[in-house]
């Protein structure tokens, strides 16, 4: 597992830009780790194996449409969904096949109601801790007892029981996770990523603040080297 230090360092820039404190991020992460029963290595290895065996890794963002995703699906693919964007799978012509190809979901615990569907299907969940989502993950955890669970955080130090693959929003963090697990940028394809509008699968949010977050997402995607229309 290897992390681009730039994808970690930008988290400090994000905290500074929004006036957030590292102390809150660290406290949330430590509490989530202590509240969870996880098999740290098993989840990563299983997801990594599925990603490596596929020819194409499609990462689904909050602006995804069924039409766009159908066009991208080809033979031997797998999916990673950013939180509530997993709901788009239900709109496909063959939703069952898509769900079976879903390697993981990346979430900060606000992608309801579709996040719960993924949890009920026991899709591996990379659950993120940040300073202001403790209420969300506290409410979610009781439903995750049979779900393969890995904790992610956004602190510069290493934390036992959690990983920091880099990134900020669920969408760009999903890209960082794939790269962390050894997937080359050219193998990663983005569906439903845009920095100029709020996607339909976005959870409850402050629109103005969300647009600011999407600009940071765009910066991070550019740093990963993954190609997307927003970079042109």
> Is 122:146 a contact under the CB 8 Å cutoff?
yes
Query: Band of the pLDDT at 232, cuts 50, 70, 90?
Result: very low
Angle 5-18/207-224 helices, nearest 10 degrees?
A: 160
Q: In sequence order, what are the residues at sequence separation of 6 or more whose Cβ sits closer than 8 angstroms to the Cβ of residue 166?
A: 3, 4, 6, 7, 8, 10, 11, 173, 176, 179, 180, 220
Q: Which residue has the tokens 């900020």?
A: 168
First to last CA, the chain: 29
Residue 1 has pLDDT above 90, yes or no: no
Mean pLDDT over 27-47 rounds to 87
CA R_g for the chain: 16
pLDDT of residue 41: 65
Q: What is the side-by-side order of every strand in the sheet holding 56-60?
A: 162-163, 149-152, 125-128, 102-107, 77-82, 56-60, 188-191
Give, in degrees to the nearest 5, the angle at Cα 221 between 123 and 155: 70
Determine the angle formed by the axes of helices 170-180 and 207-224, rounding to 10 degrees. 20
Question: pLDDT (tens digit, 9 = 90+) per residue, 74-89?
Answer: 889 999 999 999 999 9
pLDDT value of position 39: 60
Tokens of 66: 């069924």
Answering whether pTM is above 0.85, one says yes
Judge residue 66's burial from the number of C-beta atoms within 10 Å of its C-beta, 0-12 exposed, 13-18 middle, 19 or more buried. Answer: middle
> Tens of pLDDT along 129-147?
999 999 999 999 999 999 9
Alpha-carbon separation of residue 108 from 94, 166, 173, 180, 229 (angstroms): 27, 14, 10, 18, 25
Q: Which element (helix H / strand E) includes 174?
A: helix 170-180
Among candidates 14, 5, 2, which has minimal Cα distance to 168?
14
């Amino acid at each position: 597992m290897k992390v681009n230090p730039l994808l970690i360092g930008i988290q400090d820039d994000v905290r500074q830009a929004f006036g957030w404190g590292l102390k809150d991020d660290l406290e949330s992460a430590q509490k989530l780790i202590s509240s969870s029963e996880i098999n740290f290595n098993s989840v990563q290895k299983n997801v990594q194996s599925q990603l490596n065996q596929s020819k194409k890794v499609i990462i689904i963002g909050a602006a995804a449409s069924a039409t766009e995703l159908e066009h991208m699906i080809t033979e031997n693919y797998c999916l990673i969904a950013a939180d509530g964007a997993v709901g788009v799978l239900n709109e496909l012509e063959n939703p069952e096949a898509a769900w079976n190809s879903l390697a993981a979901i990346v979430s900060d615990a606000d992608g309801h109601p579709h996040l719960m569907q993924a949890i009920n299907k026991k899709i591996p969940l990379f659950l993120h801790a940040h300073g202001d989502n403790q209420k969300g993950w506290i409410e979610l955890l009781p439903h995750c007892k049979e779900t393969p669970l890995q904790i992610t955080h956004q602190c510069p130090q290493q934390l036992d029981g959690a990983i920091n693959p880099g990134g900020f929003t669920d969408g760009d963090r999903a890209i960082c996770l794939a790269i962390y697990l050894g997937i080359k940028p050219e193998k990663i394809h983005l569906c439903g990523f845009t920095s100029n509008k709020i996607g339909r699968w976005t959870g409850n949010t402050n629109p103005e603040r969300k647009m600011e977050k999407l600009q940071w997402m765009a910066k991070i995607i550019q740093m990963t080297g993954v190609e997307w229309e927003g970079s042109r």
